[in-house]
Structure 1
Amino acid sequence: MLQLPSHKLIHDVPTRWNSNYDMLERYLEQQAAIYSALTDKTLKKNIRNIVTSSDADVKIAEEVLQVLKPLKTITTLLSTETTPSVSMILPLKTRILQSMAPSEDDCTVTRDVKAAIRGDLNPRYTAPLIYKTTFIDLLH
């Protein structure tokens, strides 16, 4: 009826790197089905005070998904590498930090998510050895 893929919702799993991204992506994909189910008359008879996502909530979810997309791409890339090199860390870290730069178009939630990611990532991977190995790998 809604012509959506028949997929189950995905839950966040703290030990899985991309589970937040996957969860939001699936929610947005299945949003019409979720709304239809929650507003079905037979369900409403048995449950009171059903809360559905507002348009603003959906817009925030879409924006956060875009913020998380570079992280999904990089973690997928790294997990598929058969021989990842330590010299990949600095360029990828730089790429993530660039994508997390604040923008005038960012809503408050997007700005906060980007700031949290930058704040967590900035102090990481600063050992001189990482810089040396990256430099040496670039020479080869």
Structure 2
Amino acid sequence: MDIPQVSRAVACCKQLVGHFNHSSKSSYLLKQKQYDLKHKQHRLIQPVATRWNSSYYMMECILEQQQPLSATLSQLRKSDLMPTGSVISTMYDFVQFMKPFVEMIEAIGSEKWASISSVRPLLYQITNKYLLCSEDDSPLVKQMKQQMITKVNEYYGDGCDLEVLNKCILLDPRFKNVSFASSDILLDQLTEVARNRVSVAATASSSHVPSSIAITSSTPVSRHKEGKVMKLLTDIVHTPDDSLTNPSEKVSIELQRYLSDVITDQYDEKGRLDPLKWWQLNGVRYPCVTVLTRKYLSIPATSVPSERAFSLTGHLVNEKRASLLPVTVNMLSFLAGNLK
């Protein structure tokens, strides 16, 4: 957006849209021309300073309504407001280049709770597909790609943030088998989780045993009371003991079992899968990995949900309802956000 060629095109479009938004006569004539020329009767979109995609929609709408706009401005004798050929070419390049990125932010924003695990696959898609230069690119498109590559490297370069994003894609069952994910980055942290679980279990078991009782037998104590059937089959059924397996080996086995698990029946009627609900149902099968999912997958990928909550509360609390108690506002916000 800071490229001079793009900023000039945005300023030209703002001037055009501002004229029609402030003139009822011009808006009426535009509707007549749209009807006569059998164009879609869309209103011109006013851009918002805090949302760059509004500039995209403004340019897209102007490109769609070129013929009615030109006829209307010609009749009003204000043809100087119509973008020139070079500006229209800039708008076309901008719209074609930014279309996949607009689709990405809309896909993330449309989900009620988008997890951070979706960020790394989208970054991979951006850098390995949309930002690759080709011979057919115009000079403006090449410049936009170069600036975007610089920004992506600035925000998501090699470092701690990128490592966290790589861990998140492995913890999301939708992306666990992507080609650029490596399970090695989780092993150290999972091993530490396994050791903590063993130490906590040992502390809990020892705290329930009176100090006057000493266990002299070397036979491991079973944690579960065996039933009569199990007593008859003890010679062929062996219960695994946590103390016989190294924590790192247990973690490796559990991680490989999770990565090889095939997800077949966890999708909803629209073909979507909620990773948090999936872990809620299947977390007991992977106790160590589940600990990390609670830590990482709870991070939101975007601030859209929180902004929606503030917008919703702004509609509830106004000048005529300024005496509402905080408890009442919380209850109303909860009901408005969930009763849909």
TM-score relative to the length of structure 2: 0.37
More displaced 10-residue stretch of structure 1: 69-78 or 5-14: 5-14
What do you get for the CA RMSD once the two structures are aligned? 2.1
Say if 1:81 and 1:10 are closer, same or farther in 2 by CA, change over 3 A.
same
Say if 1:125 and 1:116 are closer, same or farther in 2 by CA, change over 3 A.
same
Partner of 2:134: 103
C-alpha distance in structure 1 between counterparts of 2:168 and 2:56, whole Å: 31
Match 1:38 to one of 73, 78, 82: 73
Unpaired runs of at least 5, structure 2? 1-35, 177-258, 262-340
Match 2:147 to one of 102, 116, 121: 116
Post-superposition offset of 1:67 = 0.5
Within a 5 Å distance, the mapping from 1:43-58 to structure 2 comes to 43-44=76-77, 50=80, 52-58=82-88
More displaced 10-residue stretch of structure 1: 51-60 or 102-111: 51-60
Post-superposition offset of 1:53 = 2.9
Within a 5 Å distance, the mapping from 1:1-140 to structure 2 comes to 1-40=36-75, 43-44=76-77, 50=80, 52-97=82-127, 98-126=129-157, 127=161, 128-137=163-172, 138=176, 139=259
C-alpha distance in structure 2 between counterparts of 1:39 and 1:56, whole Å: 19
C-alpha distance in structure 2 between counterparts of 1:59 and 1:135, whole Å: 42
Unpaired runs of at least 5, structure 1? none
Question: Which letter maps to 1:132?
Answer: K
Q: Deviations over 1:12-42 (max 9, x none)?
A: 22312421221111011111111112222xx
C-alpha distance in structure 1 between counterparts of 2:122 and 2:52, whole Å: 16
C-alpha distance in structure 2 between counterparts of 1:13 and 1:94, whole Å: 29
Post-superposition offset of 1:88 = 0.6
C-alpha distance in structure 1 between counterparts of 2:101 and 2:63, whole Å: 18
TM-score relative to the length of structure 1: 0.82
Question: Which letter maps to 2:123?
Answer: K
Question: Which letter maps to 2:143?
Answer: D
| Rg comparison, structure with higher value | 2
Say if 1:51 and 1:80 are closer, same or farther in 2 by CA, change over 3 A.
closer
Q: Deviations over 1:54-85 (max 9, x none)?
A: 44432332222111011111011001112312
Question: Which letter maps to 2:103?
Answer: T
Say if 1:101 and 1:14 are closer, same or farther in 2 by CA, change over 3 A.
farther
Post-superposition offset of 1:121 = 1.8
Say if 1:129 and 1:119 are closer, same or farther in 2 by CA, change over 3 A.
same
Larger RCO of the pair (alpha carbons < 8 Å, separation 6+): 1
2:51 counterpart SS class = coil
